[in-house]
């Protein structure tokens, strides 16, 4: 209600200024990307989470819903066209800034940002995901028939029962492949499968995980977490390595290194870094003694 008159006018102007969308959802995707790129030039107090949530809406609607999260102390608004002065009393009630920012096309000099803008984490992640999908269109399921067929095949395949165990990694379910048959480099979140609550909590909290409650399938491998804000995949180990006898420790390290090398290779092939998290310093040193090329950190997660 507060912005109704202003929004109605600005939506009308937006409709007049925007060319007709292409059939299907292409127009919506283009609008979403345009809004994200536009918002990336502004400072947001919430890291851009509201912008990402509303990015598919027309720009005036996005501004209406996210204006409260804008860092207005760092912005100067100038009504260079005089449009907002007479647009509506509703706009005047909240200041000219909202009306100027929500205009379909912002005039040069109308919005001046003070200082350097660091793109909000949420906006950057959304733009990175968009670029990834379009860099590998066949992997992202742009070919709708291929993606649907892959999902149907996955739904029909029943997993074989395996013995439960600490940090046990279940067989990796089918993932989308490109036209050459390679495993997809698009990260696909799937529910944690280990049924090990302390392990899952550590995987969600420590990196921290971009998809809480989820593992990530990528490059034919399954990872415990994809770190927020960066292209880093994690494997988390939380078993009580220090309590094992020497023989069991040696066998455990052999088994882990085989798994970790496969996961690191898959991550690197898709342009991601790979980090291993272990609960104790002794576990870290045992792994590094056998292969010092790994990046290993001590999480101190307890069981």
- Return the HEC string of the chain: CCCHHHHHHHHHHHHHHCCCCCCCCHHHHHHHHHHHHHHCCCCECCCCHHHHHHCCCCHHHHHHHHHHHECHHHEEECCCCCCCCCCCHHHHHCCHHHHHHHCCCCCCCCEEECCCCCCCHHHHHHHHHHHHHHHCCCCCCCCHHHHHHHHHHHHHCCCCCCCCCCCCCCCCCCCCECCCCCECCCCEEEECCCCCHHHHHHHHHCCCECCCCEEEEECCEEECEEECCCCEEEEEECCCHHHCCHHHHHHHHHHHHHHHHHHHHHHHHCCCEEEEEECCHHHHHHHHHHCCCCCEEECCCCC
* Maximum distance among all Cα pairs of the chain, rounded to whole angstroms: 81
pLDDT of residue 91: 43
Q: What is the pLDDT of residue 278?
A: 96
Determine the pLDDT at residue 186.
Answer: 92
CA 88-112-76 angle, 5° bins: 55
Task: Tell me how long the chain is.
Answer: 303
Whether pTM exceeds 0.85: no
Nearest residue to 66 (alpha-carbon basis) of 47, 79, 84, 82: 47
**How confident is the prediction along the chain (303 residues), in pLDDT tens digits per residue?**
444 545 444 444 444 444 444 444 444 457 888 889 988 989 998 889 999 999 888 888 888 888 888 888 888 878 776 666 544 444 444 557 778 787 756 666 677 888 887 888 888 888 877 666 554 444 344 333 434 344 444 445 444 444 444 444 444 444 444 444 456 899 999 998 767 899 999 999 988 899 999 999 999 999 999 998 889 999 999 989 999 999 999 999 999 999 999 999 999 999 999 999 999 999 999 999 999 999 999 999 988
Query: What confidence score (pLDDT) does residue 249 get?
Result: 95
Tokens of 54: 């509303």
In this prediction, residue 90 carries a pLDDT of 45
Terminal-residue alpha carbon distance, the chain: 52
- Scan for tokens 């995987």, then name that residue: 203
Question: What is the model's pLDDT at position 83?
Answer: 64
Residue ranges and CATH numbers for the domains of the chain are: 4-122 (no CATH), 186-298 (3.40.1350)
Q: Check residue 140 and give its pLDDT.
A: 40
């Amino acid at each position: 209600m507060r912005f109704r008159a202003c929004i109605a006018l600005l939506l009308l102007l937006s409709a007049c200024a925007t060319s007709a969308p292409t059939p299907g959802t292409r127009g919506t995707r283009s609008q979403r990307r345009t809004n994200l790129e536009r918002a990336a030039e502004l400072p947001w107090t919430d890291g851009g989470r509201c912008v990402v949530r509303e990015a598919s809406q027309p720009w005036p609607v996005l501004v209406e819903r996210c204006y409260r999260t804008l860092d207005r102390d760092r912005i100067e608004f100038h009504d260079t066209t005089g449009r907002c002065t007479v647009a509506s009393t509703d706009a005047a009630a909240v200041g000219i800034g909202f009306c100027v920012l929500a205009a379909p096309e912002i005039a040069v000099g109308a919005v001046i940002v003070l200082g350097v803008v660091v793109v909000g984490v949420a906006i950057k992640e959304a733009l990175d995901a968009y670029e990834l999908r379009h860099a590998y269109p066949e992997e992202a399921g742009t070919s709708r028939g291929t993606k649907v067929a892959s999902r149907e095949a996955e739904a029909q395949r029943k997993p074989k029962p395996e013995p439960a165990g600490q940090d046990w990694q279940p067989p990796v379910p089918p993932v989308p492949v490109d036209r050459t048959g390679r495993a997809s480099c698009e990260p696909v979140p799937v529910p944690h499968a280990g049924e090990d609550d302390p392990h899952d909590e550590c995987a969600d909290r420590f990196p921290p995980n971009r998809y809480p409650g989820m593992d990530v399938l990528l490059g034919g491998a399954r990872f415990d977490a994809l770190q927020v804000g960066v292209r880093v995949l994690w494997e988390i180990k939380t078993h009580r390595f220090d309590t094992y006898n020497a023989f069991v420790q040696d066998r455990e390290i052999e088994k882990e290194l085989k798994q970790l090398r496969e996961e690191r290779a898959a991550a690197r092939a898709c342009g991601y870094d790979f980090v291993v998290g272990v609960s104790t310093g002794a576990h870290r040193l045992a792994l590094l003694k056998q292969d010092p090329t790994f990046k290993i950190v001590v999480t101190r997660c307890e069981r």
